């Protein structure tokens, strides 16, 4: 897993390649409060992290900076003026977690999950011959690519997604299964033979299906052409 230093070094390299004069980071105000996602707070790259690891000629600006391009003068909004008090949201988050604790996955939910998983049935047979598992609290589900069925229990798969009940219901209801790739609340358990890159591919292919890019031969062809179509990038030259 990448740490803060890795991300800061990556930004330094991008600034060097672009020969950027200024870099202004996005002021993320996200604070993860759920018990199954609060670990992600330790991986949030702050302005202070950027400042401490800054090793490029590019000038680092504060978030929400107003910059005078003529004089170079800058002003910025202080963090205390745009960061909300996360404690005001704690009761709502606790209530949501309680709803997850009592929410039941129904047979209709399992049928929708099975229909979605059949989209990648033959790819899964190659990459995940032992199937794909889903764990929602004590409930364990297993998709077998050989039968195309999702069953309760069924043994360990090539990997298992541990997801909150509401998150699974939402992606099945609204058709954005790729949202399960949001790793703040989805935990992936791999067996020793499954490469992480295969799980990335699993999420990517299902996301393409979410957006109807692989819903048919013609749609896939149009999407592929749009990806590989030559484009000219008019990047301005750097005068020094």
pLDDT at 156 over 80: no
Per-residue CA distances from 137 to 25, 92, 122, 154, 177 (Å): 37, 20, 28, 16, 19
Q: What pLDDT, on the 0 to 100 scale, is given for residue 236?
A: 61
**Is residue 190 scored above 70 in pLDDT?**
yes
The model's pTM: 0.68
Q: CA 118, CA 122: separation in Å to the nearest integer?
A: 8
Q: Which two tokens stand for residue 174?
A: 């609204």
The mean predicted confidence, pLDDT, of the chain is 86
Report pLDDT for 238.
58
What tokens does 46 get? 């702050």
CATH 3.10.450 fits 104-225, yes or no: no
pLDDT score of 76 more than 60: yes
Question: 41: which 2 tokens?
Answer: 């707070």
Query: How many Cα atoms sit within 13 Å of 129 on the Cβ side?
Result: 2
- Residue bearing the bigger pLDDT, 217 or 135: 135
**CATH 3.30.1050 in the chain, residues?**
104-225
């Amino acid at each position: 897993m990448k740490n803060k230093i890795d991300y800061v070094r990556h930004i330094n390299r991008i600034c060097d390649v672009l020969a950027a004069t200024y870099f202004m980071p996005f002021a993320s105000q996200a604070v993860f409060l759920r018990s199954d996602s609060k670990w992600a707070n330790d991986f949030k790259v702050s302005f202070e992290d950027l400042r401490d690891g800054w090793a490029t000629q590019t000038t680092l600006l504060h978030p929400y900076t107003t910059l005078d391009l003529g004089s170079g003068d800058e002003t910025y909004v202080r963090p205390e003026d745009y960061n909300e008090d996360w404690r005001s949201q704690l009761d709502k988050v606790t209530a949501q977690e309680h709803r997850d604790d009592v929410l039941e996955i129904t047979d209709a939910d399992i049928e929708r999950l099975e229909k979605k998983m059949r989209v990648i049935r033959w790819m899964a047979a190659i990459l995940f011959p032992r199937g794909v598992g889903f764990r929602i609290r004590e409930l364990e589900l297993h998709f077998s690519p050989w039968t195309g069925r999702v069953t309760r229990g069924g043994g360990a798969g090539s990997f298992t997604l541990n997801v909150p009940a509401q998150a699974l219901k939402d992606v099945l209801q609204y058709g954005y299964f790729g949202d399960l790739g949001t790793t703040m609340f989805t935990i992936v358990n791999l067996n020793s033979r499954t490469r992480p890159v295969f799980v990335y591919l699993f999420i990517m292919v299902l996301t393409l299906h979410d957006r109807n890019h692989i819903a048919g031969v013609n749609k896939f062809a149009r999407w592929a052409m749009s990806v590989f179509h030559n484009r000219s990038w008019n990047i301005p030259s750097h005068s020094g």
